[in-house]
């Protein structure tokens, strides 16, 4: 049995109208994030098969082996036309301390287009002002992988498209927002930042990469381009990026067979 995720859409000031077009979504602000798999309240993604509807929380036991507060991963497709804020996500301990949340947010990006990021401090120390001038810059190409551990200051650049796989947390502390006027969270950010960290960049990813409690690898069992995500050696999740049925329109599917799930 194949369950296909029903995406949830998040408009953003830096978003890309391309996402509105390929997913046929109307919004005042352009869509910036397509949530492909989520158990976050208000953004839960239904998993559908014909008239049946399921939700990620139903499969915690299959993927985690124990009851978790919610499904442990959040998967998104992101496309930009402008810089995202300079930001940081807390680790688990800091998330519990500052927000009462069970998890912080480590994440990784698989680029489906050329892109640019700013990540990690040039001088490996916490500056007085946390802005773009203090960060290192990197150019990315399709197929490149970037690991961003919790506590790493970073920003995603314009004209970038990628699949994001992260812990199931939506905690973000902005320190600089390019004059957009949105709320900044400098005090909390300073408590969450680990200035010694750098991004993990793997060019043209072609092998399995361990990323905390999950791993990610190019998927060989889908037509076209896809990613296989494995949580603690449990069944795989497949994110199909480009296949013969849905060219350049990322989606996520799950196969349920004899008690096992494959996305």
Catalytic residue numbers read 174
Q: Are strands 2-5 and 115-121 parallel, antiparallel or unpaired?
A: unpaired
| Bridge-based pairing state of the strands 8-11 and 31-37 | antiparallel
Please give the distance of CA 257 from its chain centroid, rounded to a whole number.
Answer: 27
Handedness of CA 96, 100, 103, 107 (dihedral sign): negative
Tell me how far CA of residue 229 lies from CA of 4, 122, 223, 225, in angstroms: 16, 32, 16, 14
The 10 Å Cβ neighbour count of residue 10 is 18
Q: Does residue 39 contact residue 70 with C-beta atoms inside 8 Å?
A: yes
* SS3 assignment, position 23: helix
Residues with Cβ < 8 Å from 216, sequence gap 6 or more?
108, 110, 145, 165, 208, 209, 227, 228, 229, 230
Between CA 141 and CA 81, with CA 209 as vertex, the angle to 5 degrees is 30
Cβ contact 217:226 at 8 Å: no
* C-alpha closest to that of 162 among 178, 186, 183, 143: 143
| Other CB atoms within 10 A of residue 69 CB | 12
- Contact call for residues 86 and 172 (beta carbons, < 8 A): no
């Amino acid at each position: 049995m194949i369950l296909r995720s029903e995406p949830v859409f998040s408009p953003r000031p830096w978003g890309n109208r391309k996402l509105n077009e390929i997913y046929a979504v109307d919004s005042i602000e352009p869509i910036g994030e397509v949530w492909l798999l989520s158990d976050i309240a208000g953004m839960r993604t239904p998993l559908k098969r014909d008239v049946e509807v399921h939700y990620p929380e139903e499969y915690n036991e299959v993927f985690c082996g124990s009851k978790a507060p919610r499904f442990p991963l959040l998967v998104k497709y992101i496309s930009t036309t402008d810089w995202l804020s300079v930001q940081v996500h807390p680790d688990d301990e800091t998330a519990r301390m500052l927000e009462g949340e069970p998890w912080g947010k480590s994440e990784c990006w698989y680029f489906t287009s050329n892109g640019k990021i700013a990540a990690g401090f040039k001088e490996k120390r916490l500056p007085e002002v946390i802005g773009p001038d203090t960060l290192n810059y990197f150019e990315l190409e399709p197929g490149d992988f970037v690991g961003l551990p919790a506590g790493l200051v970073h920003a995603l650049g314009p004209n970038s498209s990628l699949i994001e796989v992260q812990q199931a947390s939506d905690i973000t502390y902005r320190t600089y927002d390019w004059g957009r006027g949105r709320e900044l969270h400098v005090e909390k950010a300073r408590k969450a930042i680990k200035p010694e960290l750098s991004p993990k960049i793997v060019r043209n990813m072609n092998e399995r990469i361990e990323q905390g409690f999950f791993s990610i690898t190019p998927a060989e069992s889908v037509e076209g381009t896809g990613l296989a995500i494995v949580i603690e050696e449990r069944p795989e999740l497949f994110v199909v990026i480009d296949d013969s049925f849905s060219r350049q329109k990322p989606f996520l599917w799950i196969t349920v067979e004899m008690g096992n799930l494959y996305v």
